[in-house]
Structure 1
């Protein structure tokens, strides 16, 4: 049983649904459990979508309400399941409670990344969700080292994957319509369109993207523009979002013209944006893996990311992506300018990106997960809480 706390089409949920489908294709019995309104795209995998707790109270209140709701539901749904695979700290705490109540299950947890919580209750919750599971997985070597060094927890690296057919090519007419919608194509000609995925959030380095774009707008007669997809998160980034957007005029940028916010979009529309933009701008300052990078490359979109350790594990600068110094707006501006100006470079990055994406498939990830589940079953013993 794969468990995640939200149906929002962010990295954790995208990972969970894709993995569930790949396991299902292998003939493995799998059930997906999540909280929210509905899955962000249809699936043939058996699944249960639980009502999400009300967004009342503080973040701490919402986290514990979500854990309580998942615990109660899993206690009923877990009958017949022997492995509960949690994809986030909320799901992991709920799964561990079900195990502690006597259910004959093992808890597997994938740690995609570790959040920088400051609220003591949330720091404790995250720590317990790392040390309680019977088996911990990570998606990169960087996070394996973090868990070892900071949590004394051993983990196994199982990389993410991508479905090459998830975002198929679109017609020239639809591409033109998408670009016209954001003003990248008009009677005044085309503007180079950078796409950002993940919303306006601190972890996504959005202010660096805005600062870099502002530099290009000041320097260029025909500057590029930026369209931002996504943004719904369990956490409240409203203060950061408001401050970052309020800074746009001072950067020489106009919201709705130089920067367009698209919000949460359907899976089909996300694919159309990957196919309609000219490059991905992904200046995250923290990532577990960066699924949007793999998705963009699989859709033939060249990528500007950053030199985060997780990116350097599978990307090579100027081969399959541009990797300026992370957190450096000036370096990002230089790479965005290079991407804009060099058509031959974009062609090389597309070719390199397609080759890199081809090395990571959900089918291979599912086979590794299935083997781990078998190992967990073979070594199951009465659960002993650690930490």
Structure 2
């Protein structure tokens, strides 16, 4: 399996969780990725049954997005050795460009203007010989735009981890966040166009008289969103609001941050599934999300939907005032998704693509230290 980073973005979270579930099912799994800026390991500990190959990728001062994309592809391509693998599975645009023949998971479809990104995105869709999508809505976009048929395999979610953060034993952890932040509306994903952060800022400004703070966590990304962040800061000043921007939150701290929120806001303009939103449901937190076909597909009946900042403001207020109305349904939905189920579906796909090869070879021992 190939990814483009060691840092906590949705596609990287997916890659590690799926790799671990495949290893648990007896598969010999190696994850290849780029170690950006000196990273020598992933943002969290990884099951030792999953082998890791982290390719050094130092920062270059002043490097633009386009050249960085091309260098990322070439660096991973030069390091990757496909020998011995029955299946090569790329999880993103960069890794799909770095290998010659692969299965590709299309998490969501983007629209770029940087020429290198436009070409990267197109090749990463047309060159793979098989495709996976995490929702039927994205599979439909792939069929309509490129005439490609994808296998739909939804994400798993570590529901138990987030449910535990909402339980009695984790009360001190939630209290620490409340003591620091007060009562808050939470968004996870950073400040960037695809996450709809400026719309959320506008919505928060319309929540007249609220005592809750707006808290934004996350933000690791390959792309340069400084112009969008400048726009966000300028608009916040114009509106007279003061969101708390935490940046990336430690893996072990994230569940209690989510569980302590009054409402989880998910105003993304492009998504493939909505893993962070599903984690919030697992923690029993009311969810307000943008009214997109993909999010209707995944969250209909467990979330409140809005199409614009005014709608978001109203739904955020309603969710905060009636947090119990959809809680049980949301927790039940989240508990129904597992990485073990996702791994089993991937194994079925792999068997169809590699006929005559055993898909399960027995338990895999941890690699020796330093391998």
Using the size of structure 2 for normalisation, the TM-score is: 0.90
Structure 2 equivalent of residue 194 of structure 1? 185
Task: Give 1:141 deviation, angstroms.
Answer: 1.2
Is contact 2:286-2:320 (8 Å) kept? no
**Per-residue displacement from partner, 1:33-76 (whole Å, max 9, x unpaired)?**
1112121110122212222242442111001101111111112x
> How far apart in 2 are the matches of 1:315 and 1:89?
26
Q: Does 1:209 align with 2:200?
A: yes
Structure 2 residues without counterparts, runs of 5 or longer: 358-371
Structure 1 equivalent of residue 368 of structure 2? none
Task: Give 1:349 deviation, angstroms.
Answer: 1.7
Structure 2 equivalent of residue 21 of structure 1? 20
- Counterpart of 2:134 (choices 134, 139, 143) is 139
Structure 2 equivalent of residue 341 of structure 1? 321
- Counterpart of 2:245 (choices 261, 270, 275) is 261
Task: Give 1:324 deviation, angstroms.
Answer: 1.4
Structure 2 equivalent of residue 64 of structure 1? 70
Structure 2 equivalent of residue 304 of structure 1? 288
Q: Does 1:289 align with 2:289?
A: no
What SS class does the counterpart of residue 33 from structure 1 fall into? strand
Runs of 4+ in structure 1 off by over 4 angstroms are none
**Quick one: structure 1 residues 93 and 379, their matched pair in 2 at CA, closer, same or farther if it must change by over 3 Å?**
farther
**Quick one: structure 1 residues 155 and 379, their matched pair in 2 at CA, closer, same or farther if it must change by over 3 Å?**
farther
> How far apart in 1 are the matches of 2:146 and 2:92?
16
> How far apart in 2 are the matches of 1:349 and 1:34?
39
Task: Give 1:120 deviation, angstroms.
Answer: 2.5
Question: 1:26-37, aligned counterparts within 5 Å?
Answer: 26-36=25-35, 37=39
Task: Give 1:150 deviation, angstroms.
Answer: 1.3
RMSD after superposition: 1.5
Structure 1 residues without counterparts, runs of 5 or longer: 100-106, 185-190, 381-387
**Per-residue displacement from partner, 1:11-30 (whole Å, max 9, x unpaired)?**
10000001001111111111
> How far apart in 2 are the matches of 1:61 and 1:84?
25
Structure 1 equivalent of residue 180 of structure 2? 181
- Counterpart of 2:89 (choices 72, 85, 89) is 85
Structure 2 equivalent of residue 40 of structure 1? 43
Using the size of structure 1 for normalisation, the TM-score is: 0.86
Structure 2 equivalent of residue 358 of structure 1? 335
Is contact 1:320-1:349 (8 Å) kept? yes
Structure 2 equivalent of residue 164 of structure 1? 159
> How far apart in 2 are the matches of 1:69 and 1:379?
33
What SS class does the counterpart of residue 136 from structure 1 fall into? strand
